[in-house]
Structures are given as structure tokens and as C-alpha cells.
Amino acid sequence: MFPVIGPTSMNNFKIHTQKGEAIQDQHGLLRELEYELFYEDNACVKFIKSYATNTKINNAKFPEKSTEPLLNWPFDFTFEKHFTLKEGILEINFIINSLEGMPYMLGYHPAFMLSDTGKEILIANDKNITLENIYEAGHNAFPVLNTDKIVLKNIDRNDLEITTTSFDNFML
């Protein structure tokens, strides 16, 4: 999800930025662009999506879930996704290149196999978060604030660590 996350319909699908108005649907326009493979070797693949300022992009949610047939953003950007396998560890990096000060949000929905016991915990800021805590948040999502790392303590599987640079909040 990029460059916006969440519903935009309450604002008539308009986002106001310092470079002008954009038409954005829930979760932005990145999902509408195609990835291009630009690097590959035995341990790494790198993909890129490129966008030019105010290019009109077809909105796949129109007309069933949106009144806007075309989306746009008033900034150029490239969005890279790198997958690297090192010593049995998968590393995923996102690299965003644009003008300094471009407003954006980034959302990513990874999913992980759990033990089916419901007893896994996440550790963030030296606190344990249970699956029950997350379920209680319901559709609002469970915020994990002021940290750049969360660890899923997985039962009968390897633990999973997610770390970020320049982001310090998660939603579960």
C-alpha cells in the first residue's frame, strides 16, 4: 500500500499535498503498477516500479468499489523491492526514491505460518503481545508504537524478526 493507506472516500478520494491535489483510492496506486525485474542472481532478486508525476493510472476498484476511474500522484517516485537469501534468512528491503519531503505511508501485509495453538507472542519494546491482544483490537488494528523492531516468537518454527529503518510504528 503506497503512497496512502486507509480509506480516502470520506475526502472524495482527494489527497492534498504541497505539490497539489492527488486522486487516490484506499491503499494508493502502487498496486496498479507492474514490477520490472532489474537484478537477479542465485541469492537475490530486485524488482522496481516507476511512476512519473501526475500520470493517470487505471483504478482496478472502479466502478464496483470506487467512483474514481483514474488515480494520480503529484510526485515522481521509484519503488524497489529486494529479496535476498543469506544463510537461510530471507531479507526483504523496500527502497523508495523521490523528492525529499514527499508525503507517504507504506503498508505491507506479510503472513506467517503459526502453530495453530494460539500461543505465539510478539515482542516489541520489551513487552509481550499475545494473539488475543491483537484479536481484541478487531478491525481497528493493534498499534505497536515507537519501535523499529518486532519479533514473532513462533512455536515449533523459527522466530521471525521484522526491523525497519525510518519507520517506528507497526499495526497488527
pLDDT tens, residue by residue, 19-36? 999 999 988 999 999 999
How is the chain split into domains, by residue range? Answer: 1-109, 110-172
| Tens digit of each residue's pLDDT (9 = 90 or more) over 89-113 | 889 999 999 999 999 988 888 888 8
Residue type, 162: I
The answer to whether the beta carbons of residues 57 and 71 sit under 8 Å apart is yes
pLDDT of residue 20: 93
CATH topology assigned to domain 1-109: Beta-galactosidase; Chain A, domain 5 (2.70.98)
Q: How confident is the model at residue 86 (pLDDT cuts 50, 70, 90)?
A: very high
94-120 burial, b for 16+ CB within 10 Å, e for fewer? eeeebeeebebebeeeeeeeeeeeeeb
Report the 3 state secondary structure along 111-163: CCCCCCCCCCEEEECCEEEEHHHHHHHHHHCCEEECCCEEEEECCCCCCEEEE
pLDDT of residue 37: 98
